[in-house]
Structure 1
Amino acid sequence: MMNFRYAFLLITLFLFPQQGLWSAEKQSDSKPNIIVILCDDLGYGDLACYGHPQIKTPHIDRLASQGMRLTDCYASAPVCSPSRAGLLTGRTPNRVGVYDWIPEGHPMHLKRDEVTIAQLLQKADYDTAHVGKWHCNGLFNSKKQPQPGDHGFQHWFSTQNNALPTHQNPNNFVRNGKPLGEIKGFSCQIVADEGIRWLKEWRAVDKPFFLHVCFHEPHERVASPPDLVKRYLDTTLYEDQAQYFANVANMDAAVGKLMKTLDELKLAENTLVFFTSDNGPETLNRYGKGSRRSWGTPGVLRGMKLHIYEGGIRVPGIIRWPGRIEAGQESNVPVSSVDMLPTFCEMVNISLPKNRELDGTSLLPLFAGNNDLQRSTPLFWNYYRANSTPRVAMREGDWKVVAHWSGPEGIRRLGNNVNSISQEYIKNAKLTKFELYNLKEDISEQHNLAWQERERLNHLKKKLTQKYKEVQKEGPVWDTKSYEQSREKSLFKDQAK
């Protein structure tokens, strides 16, 4: 007699062919879904799983326990707009001309002829969506510059820069070209809810998807739910500090909602999730009046946001891909956001963009347990307005070389943001003095070994100088005259009031 359970299984598969073993087999053979979660100004030491003694981040901690926690994960720049451009294109940001954060109205933008992750995946029959902070152009929601939709995102729910006036009840979101006015709630929850609604209602369910989630948190101006703030008031010295801690906790809850949705939709097993930050933590009070809540920490790292030292560029990094990445791993292999584009291309088996230099490498060998990533070019950073005196850096293996330049050491002589003056230095300044650090032995960059390791320094100095000149030559020059003139008029009117 046929086993009852076996007979029941056969009947089930016959009557419901979309369920059970068939659907599991189909999912395992299909192209992987991809979610990239990018925080704004989240410091290396701001998560519980990265050592913060007070902030509770159970959902992100769980994500790390289910995948790989990266101890040496880097943003492509120490400031927001360049970092985002680098992640999307796999190219160091100066190549594409995004040299600094982009003010509203500025001509600088991610050019239409750049090739993004979203465009490549869209051509590979992926459905794509961007939710949250865009900050890759100055003329947001204008036909004069490319928008998220022009860079491959079929659905977009975005802001030009920060959530305004604060994270609470923002009024500057645009959905697919339509301004939405004030939205009740807190930005990270609003962004997560949009991503969840897209996953449940709007995406093409017969296609794999790429969802780019860009939280505004914990960038100033910080605003957090009162109940979360209250939890931290007993453990902090200042209410503003409690506001920041609660801001990170609120973002953690938003990540939890997204991950729960993947589980509910039975998508988690075939979805790679990459969680990271656009740069290091903000310096307290840099924004002046009304912005006193930047209590982020770089942990043991030197420097913070805007620095070429580790605190400006080394950020939290977590990758979860069930079945392909063994759970509970920790990797100290240096990786960067510029690695995402070549990684996703190899995952999906699509060709890399042609006729352009890429600065990242595929991480698939790392996922399979091979720690010897073969890079054709070392990791590289260049930020002309860095708060640190060095403006350029390169990492090869355990060693990092940082370089000063022939331009002004202070940033006042460069003017405000990218302009005709600063671009002269961006395009023509030379590298001068060099520092050398062994990050394996000296993660805090306290011991400059330039004199002790002359041979190694000369080797890395030659590589860095060659890369710097190559990138410097490729970067475009923006016509900023009209923007500078309009800004001068605006300042004159403000002073006359």
Structure 2
Amino acid sequence: MLLPLEKAGVLLAVFLIQTFSVQAQANHKSSPNIVIILADDLGYGDVSSYNENAAFTTPHIDQLAEQGVRFTDAHTSSSVCTPTRYGLLTGRYNWRSELKQGVLSGYSRSLLTKNRLTLADLLRKEDYRTAFIGKWHLGWNWQLEKQNKNIDKLDSRPEVDFSQPISMGPGDHGFIYSYGFSGSLDMPPYVYVENSRPTTIPKDTTVNYDEKGFWRKGLTGSDFSHTDVLPHLTEKSMQYIRKQADNQPFLLYFALPAPHTPILPTTEFIGTSNANLYGDFVLQVDGVVGQITQALEEEGILEETLIIFASDNGASPRADFEELARAGHDPSYIYRGHKADIYEGGHRIPFIAHWPEMIEEGFITDETVSTVDIMATVADIAGTSLPDDAGEDSYSFLPVLLHKNYSKPLREATVFHSISGRFALRKGPWKLILWPGSGGWSFPRTKEDLQGRPDFQLYNLEEDPGEEHNLVDQYPGKVKELKALMEKYVKEGRSTPGDPRPNDGDQQWPQLEWMDK
């Protein structure tokens, strides 16, 4: 029999153990592993849970959606690669950087400045292990043997000393481990860089002129095979997950090079979509998602891992929309345009969050979110806050994930940007495009196409999701309201509450002529 004092001691010990256990569980829940899978040029309608008329089924992505949160009104900050990646990693609209239009090349210098806080920087301060694997496309500084003014051109071929490490790459922006390549998979140089060092000294190769399998001529490493890149990067990502399973929490930013060109599905996926090679490549991307999910499950950490799956913009016309239409498939679903455009098809994307430990059952939300919001959301999850000079356009969507009551909408408004640097602003159902055309590759785009059109376009997306009826003349007050808000966002250097911040390279900003109209 325990004496009263001994009994009290036992009860105290039990109480302390339970308290520490509860606290440990609380801390664990606030620090999940975070895996961001960013597809490249995957359209909203390419995921079957988003498109009831899809020609094929994406079971692994759909499973994430069924068990997590499927966002139906999610967007990228830009309709092309580099700008969206900048916004995702910084929580800042891409057009505030030095890059006002277009994308970088495989030889471009870093777009990320030295003092710009990134998602990886943020989590590293919170004791996360951090890794980048895949397509970087934000520029890094190769060791050039002589200066070259044309390194931003996609066909540029500067002289590089590949025996030397790069600088201002992932390792200088918060990633403890990194493995990937510099640009898109159709942009030289085709060489892997691991922890800032090229894995081989690349040699010259010929260009592939096949329409879907296209890549530009350039230097290629002996360990670099275009067809094997996606499986190779997937294996690297799974190895990282296995290695970190006992060393949590960790961030893995896995930036896929697919289904962007070159469209090169491996043998096991050829013909599986009953559509075309692009459809087959989409199914390979779906297979990659399944492999990553399986690796997390096998290590017993799927429950405590937040997976965010998204695309960097809409589908590219190289997918061959006409060919896909014959199979009854539209990568843009019901939306107008595609990659590069300011229309919805350019920037509305599949966006899914899967976190079994905190999301009890799957649900769908029409809350408007942007890829720039990942930064603030992750900060919220990690229990930290963003400094005033970081994440200037990022809003946390954690309340949406946790199904909590919150003040709707999360965002006052959302800004989109096209390949040519044209702007659009969305507030509620209203979308104002500050340009008469697509701002990208679809009609209307040429000087002749734009002649006689109104300076701006205004659409009510609730009534007209296909952006067919320009209401700019019927609602001049709404045009004035949204234009004034866009001007405010530009001039204040932010769209979140806080002190005004400077934009980078304002003197290089030719696309602001709409302010005078």
TM-score normalised by structure 2 residue count: 0.74
Secondary structure of 2:270 counterpart: helix
Secondary structure of 1:110 counterpart: coil
Q: How many residues align?
A: 416
Describe how 1:217-232 pairs up with structure 2 within 5 A: 217-232=258-273
CA contact (8 A) 1:140 1:160 kept: no
CA contact (8 A) 1:103 1:138 kept: no
Distance 2:90 2:46 in 1: 27
Residue 372 of structure 1, CA deviation = 3.9
CA contact (8 A) 1:345 1:351 kept: yes
1:449 aligns with 2:446: no
Amino acid at match of 2:471: L
- Cα deviations by residue, 1:85-113 (Å, 9 ceiling, x for unpaired): 00000000011223331013334621122
Residue 382 of structure 1, CA deviation = 3.0
Distance 1:315 1:409 in 2: 18
Task: Evaluate the alpha carbon distance shift between residue 285 and residue 106 of structure 1 in structure 2; reply closer, same or farther with a 3 A threshold.
Answer: same
1:98 aligns with 2:99: yes
Distance 2:319 2:59 in 1: 29
Describe how 1:383-398 pairs up with structure 2 within 5 A: 383=418, 385=420, 391-398=422-429
Distance 1:375 1:97 in 2: 28
Task: Evaluate the alpha carbon distance shift between residue 98 and residue 55 of structure 1 in structure 2; reply closer, same or farther with a 3 A threshold.
Answer: farther
Distance 1:163 1:410 in 2: 21
Residue 191 of structure 1, CA deviation = 1.6
Secondary structure of 1:458 counterpart: helix
Partner of 1:401: 432
CA contact (8 A) 1:134 1:214 kept: yes
1:276 aligns with 2:310: yes
* Identity fraction in percent: 33
Gaps of 5+ in 1: 1-16, 237-241, 287-294, 412-431, 480-497
CA contact (8 A) 1:339 1:362 kept: yes
CA contact (8 A) 2:80 2:419 kept: no
Amino acid at match of 2:505: P
1:177 aligns with 2:196: yes
Residue 377 of structure 1, CA deviation = 4.6
Amino acid at match of 2:477: E
Partner of 2:89: 88
Residue 218 of structure 1, CA deviation = 0.5
Residue 459 of structure 1, CA deviation = 1.4
TM-score normalised by structure 1 residue count: 0.76
1:37 aligns with 2:37: yes
Distance 2:70 2:277 in 1: 26
Task: Evaluate the alpha carbon distance shift between residue 376 and residue 215 of structure 1 in structure 2; reply closer, same or farther with a 3 A threshold.
Answer: closer
Q: Which has the higher helix share?
A: 1
Distance 1:254 1:356 in 2: 32
Gaps of 5+ in 2: 1-16, 144-163, 200-220, 321-328, 442-453, 495-501, 509-517
Describe how 1:179-194 pairs up with structure 2 within 5 A: 179-180=198-199, 181=221, 182-183=223-224, 186-194=228-236
Residue 360 of structure 1, CA deviation = 1.7
Describe how 1:91-490 pairs up with structure 2 within 5 A: 91-99=92-100, 100-107=102-109, 109-137=111-139, 139-140=141-142, 145-163=167-185, 172-180=191-199, 181=221, 182-183=223-224, 186-201=228-243, 203=244, 205-232=246-273, 235-236=274-275, 242-284=276-318, 297-356=331-390, 358-369=392-403, 370=405, 372-373=407-408, 375=410, 377-383=412-418, 385=420, 391-404=422-435, 433-471=455-493, 474-476=503-505
Distance 1:164 1:398 in 2: 37
Residue 48 of structure 1, CA deviation = 1.3
CA contact (8 A) 2:418 2:439 kept: no
CA contact (8 A) 1:192 1:255 kept: no
CA contact (8 A) 2:91 2:390 kept: no
Residue 198 of structure 1, CA deviation = 1.0
CA contact (8 A) 2:419 2:440 kept: no
Task: Evaluate the alpha carbon distance shift between residue 88 and residue 222 of structure 1 in structure 2; reply closer, same or farther with a 3 A threshold.
Answer: same
Distance 1:227 1:165 in 2: 26
- Cα deviations by residue, 1:133-152 (Å, 9 ceiling, x for unpaired): 00011535876751001110
